[in-house]
Chains A and B, each alone.
Chain A
Amino acid sequence: MRIWAVAHNTFREAVRDRVLYVLVFFAAASIFGSKALGWISIGQDIKIMVDISLAAISVFGVLIAIFVGTNLVHKEIDKRTIYTILCRPMARYEFVLGKCLGLAGLLAVVVFVMTAIAAVYVFLLGGRLTSSFYLAALLIYWKLLLITALAVLLSALTAPILGAIIVFAAYVVGHATNIFINLPPQFDGTVSKQVLQALYYVLPNLSHFDIASEAANGVAIAPSYVVWALAYGTVYTAMLLTLAALAFEDKDV
């Protein structure tokens, strides 16, 4: 119940943030503007619109998660409002989980609205979307949850700017971890190879949530793939939130 109260408050606070509306505006503008690129693509306008729509949902969703997420705990400390919360009979982990849930709710609304805008726009322009498009949007949301959990963890550990830089770097590297297991033959038998392969399993592999190509080309997605990707994201997010709760327990506020 206390977690829900914090989540509700976080959601209301984030909804009032002007940054949110600026980002949603740019995301919607990207979706509407995608038609212009389609005109010069030899009959691939719908494919390009779907690609850009999913990219806009992913990129602007991540920016929202980073800008809002890394500020979540720090803002409460900076404005000293955290003392009025922590002096109540509330465990610190409840505060962290509530904050994260509030942001997850906000992201759910943002992803839902942007997906609906993209779907209606594609429909109005004569395109038809397959279930892969909606599954791609679902996996993007799951990726955003993982990024949010990382942002909340860093919010409890570092300053917002440093946290934002680390989360953004993790976002880029998280899409490139496959390189660690596809090493050239020069790495065979070296310690570096073992270290990089270990890193592959430690770092979040965000490319598992990326099925935009399949969605844009109408390629069917195996339900078991989606289930495994959701399971992977859920476990990783839960681990990051546990670490965030532990980090906040030890924080001197």
Chain B
Amino acid sequence: MRGRKAIVALLVVSASLSLTALSQRRLDAMRTAAFDEELLYLPNEHLLDHFTAGLSGVVADVLWLKCIQYTSTHFRGDFKFTWLDHMCTMITRLDPYFVDVYRYGGIFLAALKADDDASIRLLKSGIPPNPDRWELPYEIAMVHMVNRRDQPGAAEAAAAYLKLAVATGTAPENVAHVAAGLQRKNKLTDMERAMWTDMAQHHADKFMRDLASRKLALLDMRLACEELEQAAEAYAARTGSPPRSLRDITDNAERIDPLGGTFFLDSTGRVQNTSLLNESVDRALGQLRNAVRLYRKDAGSWPGSLDDLVSRQIMTAIPKHPYEDKSWRYDPATGEIVP
């Protein structure tokens, strides 16, 4: 009697589980198919923000996970990403500090959906709430360089956004190099000069006018260095050896630097200017101090040496001191770096 009951129970359980598994598979298939339509029923992002009952961060997280799932499903499927920009806009509206959504959303939109307008719109919307994040202007520059490379003015726009990324003071050193290289390659100094001149003459704030005047002076020094560099190359080609002093390549060796700096030849025969080098020191110092702060936030203590920043993958490499005869002095007890 007991054995019969057990068999009946087993049969009932087996039959029921088979049926529920069948219906579950069917439901899963229907849900995946209806997922795009589900998004249609999500309220406008302006309204959604008000009705999350203080849980906007969690709702943004859940939507971001859905967004990743949506992107990977369509990446393996029909390659249509109709709702991608709507989802990213909604998530960033709910959590304006969620930088990875702007960043990866921008990359997905540009690289997968090939909608560079939507990508740039999303990335630009992230800059006001996150002004110190270099990744957002950097990704806009990448969209201009990759997606819009055949359009007129793309290189200038990319250079301008890379400059903005460098100006945040948190960008890695290679971004500053790419920005400078792009500017040289596209001969954008006239555009830069016009921008700083306009600011130096018309900006309402005195600090900004002074800053623009300084940038103009540095631009002149950079051009002067390039001019002397060409003269040094011509000298080396003519005589077969690099110049030993600036007097070998110019009659005007005592050029006036309005910022108080001087020109000199380094040990490799390259023309250097101390104002430009000091500017590079400030930028590298800003990156290092920022990385040291990040290390402390992450590890709870100051790094033992600057190399720890690389081993913890906060920096890809320690920036070289712009002056060839100097090196960074770091105090592990206080986290202070002295140029």
Contact = CB atoms under 8 A, between A and B. Distances in A.
Interface of A: 37, 40-44, 47-48, 51-52, 54-55, 58-59, 128, 130, 143, 171-172, 175-176, 178-179, 182, 206-207, 209-210, 212-214, 216-219
B50 A44 contact: no
A40 B66 CA distance: 10
A222 to B, nearest CB: 15
Contacts of B96: 213
B65 A40 contact: yes
7 nearest CB pairs, A to B: A217-B97, A176-B50, A51-B57, A55-B58, A210-B54, A212-B57, A179-B50
Nearest to B56: A213
Contacts of A207: 54
Contacts of A214: 97
A178 B50 contact: yes
Interface centre among B50, B60, B62, by most chain A C-beta atoms within 10 angstroms, is B50
Contacts of A37: 61-62, 65
A207 B54 CA distance: 6
Q: Secondary structure of the B side of the interface?
A: helix
A52 B300 contact: no
Interface in B286-333: 297-298, 300
B264 interface: no
Interface string B163-196: 0000000000000000000000000000000000
Nearest to B94: A213
B104 interface: yes
B97 A213 contact: yes
Given A128-B300, A175-B50, A176-B51, A216 B68 contact: no
Interface of B: 46-47, 50-58, 60-62, 64-65, 68-69, 94-100, 104, 297-298, 300
Contacts of B65: 37, 40-41
A143 B53 CA distance: 12
A54 B60 CA distance: 14
B68 A206 contact: no
Contacts, number: 80
B97 A219 contact: yes
Nearest to A58: B54
A51 B54 CA distance: 11
A217 B97 CA distance: 6
A219 B46 CA distance: 22
Contact of B58 (A41, A52, A218): A52
Given A48-B61, A54-B57, A55-B58, A175 B100 contact: no
Contacts of B69: 40
A52 B61 contact: yes
Nearest to A219: B97
B54 to A, nearest CB: 5
A103 B67 CA distance: 41
Contact of B100 (A44, A172, A206, A210): A44
Given A130-B297, A213-B96, A217-B95, A44 B54 contact: no
A103 to B, nearest CB: 20
A128 B298 contact: yes
B95 A213 contact: yes
A59 B58 CA distance: 12
B97 A41 contact: no
Contacts of B54: 55, 58, 143, 175, 206-207, 209-210, 212
Contacts of A44: 61, 64, 100
Given A55-B54, A171-B53, 10 more contacts: A47-B98, A54-B57, A55-B57, A128-B298, A143-B54, A175-B50, A175-B53, A207-B54, A213-B94, A217-B95
A51 B58 contact: yes
A3 B58 CA distance: 39
A116 B104 CA distance: 32
A175 B48 CA distance: 11
B50 A47 contact: no
Nearest to B300: A128
Nearest to A38: B61
Contacts of B47: 179
